[in-house]
Structure 1
Amino acid sequence: MGVLAAERIKLTSTRSPWWCTAIVVALALGLAALFAIVTKSAGDNPADGAPTLDVSTATAGVVGFGVMVLMIMAALTVTSEYRFGVIRTTFQAVPNRTKVLLTKTALVGVFSAVLTIILAFLAIGVAKAIGGSAPTANLTLDGQWRAVYGIPIYAFLMIVVAIGVGVLVRQSAAAISLIVLWSLLIEPLLGAFGSFGRNVAPFLPFQNASHFLAVSESGANWHWGPWGSLLYFVAFTAIVYGAALIMINQRDA
């Protein structure tokens, strides 16, 4: 409990977590409102390519951008301590480094999971209020529950990966660059190469995380369903985090 209290004080006494949380809220609700306005203004001509407003679209601000901001925040909770030397004081107070990392991960991960599920329901509510009457709107949860209850699971696992990467590289710029480029550029770029992309996408970790949340099937040649993709990403997360636990105990602070 002492370690948990210390990590809570670290998280709440600095400005960056508060700013990151505010940005996540703004992205989640702002993009939900924007997508609803676009769908509503498209009119009554769905045959002319009017956008569809569904649960996945309404929560895109949470999943697509909000979780990315939370991952950056999670990585900074580790790399900032290495940068300013706080990690040495922490390990002097608590020699069990594994306990420190597990506590930090649990605190940031649970916070992110709770925040994202609350914002998901708020985003759906905003989308319903603005664009729920649009002909192409389908904001009922029937058949789309996985796109909602999967968000906190997705967010928690992403936080675990981000903290693991932060421990492995130790530098803020390197950790943030790796997280952003890997998930937003490298994997989508590999998946865009025709048949090669369709064959390799099922083995890319972040593509599997997206497949778990997706209500409709993508064009990749998947060898397993959404729950198989979740297990695949859990295995990837365990490898990254396991490597971080080994390195944090072997390297000097």
Structure 2
Amino acid sequence: MTLLAVERIKLFSTRSPYWCSALALILGVGLTAIIAGTTENGQMSIGLTQFGSSQLALAVVLVMSALAVTTEYRFSTIRATFLAVPNRISALVAKTVVVAFIAGVLGEIIAFGSWALAKVMSPTSDLAINTGAEWRHVAGVGLLFGIGAILAMAVGILVRQTAGAVAILLVWNMLLEGLIGIIPKVGVKIQAWLPFQNANHFLALGGADAAEQPGAGIDFKLSQWGSLAYFAGIAVALLVVALIVAKRRDA
């Protein structure tokens, strides 16, 4: 518990968590406000309320998570951390737990904040959360953000440089996985096993909005909860590799 408290204090002693959290809220909830404001009253759906959460807000959370560790390497404060806690794995796992928890809570705030704002702006729309799929689509955002934070922390530990880690995360999430789909014959098959595509599959609501949701047209081999487990497995596996590398190399 002491390590967790220390990592929480260290994280919030910098400005990046505050700025990134604010930006994620603005992008996630703000995009919902724009959609609700430009959509005819009564035509909003559960799927549209979360349009900004799984893409733009997630990208900011990935950046925030990577900064949590690369900033320490940049200013060499990680050396003081490892001197105070000789067990490097314990220190890095504590940091990852703190960042993942904050990312998960932020995801839930954005998801339910977007949904509540849509209900206020479009009162005649049917935005009641009744089915399991609808609960997964909204409440699942926090799970997705938490796992994404673990993956981003792993990349940050491996790369150690802010620019490199952020570039890898954003290009992979927002560009590369989508471009792979244009490879003739095998592109869509490869996409079915890519991490962020499976993350999107977990949140997919189906129904009338299915064609507009990320991952539409991909023949996923796993169930939606299976896709979440697969995404989590990749994040944890990458983190294990990062911890092993961090233990063996110089700080």
* TM-score past 0.5 threshold: yes
1:196, distance to aligned residue in structure 2 (A): 2.9
1:121-154: CA deviation from partner (whole Å, max 9, x where unpaired)? 1111111111242xxx442212311101211110
Aligned to 2:178, which of 181, 188, 192?
188
How far has the Cα of 1:224 moved from its partner? Answer: 2.0
**Pairwise mapping of residues 111-150 of structure 1 onto structure 2 (< 5 A)?**
111-133=102-124, 137-143=125-131, 144-150=134-140
Aligned positions of 1:97-176 closer than 5 A? 97-133=88-124, 137-143=125-131, 144-176=134-166
The residue type equivalent to 1:58 in the other structure is T
Q: What's the CA shift string for 1:38-67, capped at 9, x where partnerless?
A: 2127xx8xxxxxxx6322321222222112
- Corresponding residue of 2:213: none
> Relative to structure 2, which stretch is displaced further, 243-252 or 3-12?
3-12
Aligned partners of 1:74, 1:188: CA distance in 2, in Å?
Answer: 22
- Whichever residue aligns with residue 161 of structure 1, its letter is L
CA offset at residue 11 of structure 1?
Answer: 1.2
TM-score by length of 1: 0.90
- Distance in 1 separating the partners of 2:14 and 2:236: 29
Q: CA RMSD in A?
A: 1.7
CA distance in structure 1 between the partners assigned to 2:126 and 2:239 by the alignment: 38
**5 Å matches for 1:1-253?**
1-40=1-40, 53-133=44-124, 137-143=125-131, 144-193=134-183, 195-216=185-206, 218-253=216-251
1:234 shift after superposition:
1.7
Deviation, structure 1 residue 116: 1.4
Q: Is the 8 A contact 1:197 1:220 kept in 2?
A: no
Q: Aligned letter for 2:121?
A: I
Give 2:181's aligned amino acid: G
Give yes or no for contact 2:112–2:139 (8 Å, CA) kept in 1. Answer: no
Q: Which runs of 5+ in 1 are unaligned?
A: 45-51
TM-score by length of 2: 0.90
Check the 8 A contact 2:54/2:200 in 1, yes or no: no
- Cα distance in 1 for residues equivalent to 2:190 and 2:44: 30
- Which segment drifts farther, 22-31 or 215-224? 215-224
Shifted more, 53-62 versus 22-31: the winner is 53-62
Looking at structure 2, the residues matched to 132 and 182 of structure 1 have their Cα atoms a distance apart, in angstroms, of: 38
Give identity over the alignment, percent. Answer: 40
Question: Aligned partners of 2:201, 2:158: CA distance in 1, in Å?
Answer: 27
Q: Deviations over 1:200-233 (max 9, x none)?
A: 2211111011101111163112222211211211
Instruction: Work out the CA distance in 2 between the residues paired with 1:13 and 1:84.
Output: 14
CA distance in structure 1 between the aligned counterparts of 2:179 and 2:232, rounded to whole angstroms: 23
| Counterpart Cα distance in 1 of 2:35 and 2:183 | 29
Question: Distance in 2 between the 1:130 and 1:234 partners?
Answer: 35
- Asked whether the equivalents of residues 29 and 110 of structure 2 are also in contact (C-alpha less than 8 Å), the reply is yes
CA distance in 1, matches of 2:63, 2:28: 16
The count of corresponding residues between Structure 1 and Structure 2 is 241
CA distance in 1 between counterparts of 2:53 and 2:198 reads 18
Instruction: Measure, in 2, the Cα distance between the counterparts of 1:32 and 1:221.
Output: 28
CA distance in 1, matches of 2:101, 2:138: 16
Runs (5+) with no aligned partner, structure 2: 211-215
| CA distance in 1: counterparts of 2:192 and 2:52, whole angstroms | 24
Task: Supply the distance in 2 between the matched residues of 1:222 and 1:177 (Cα, whole angstroms).
Answer: 27
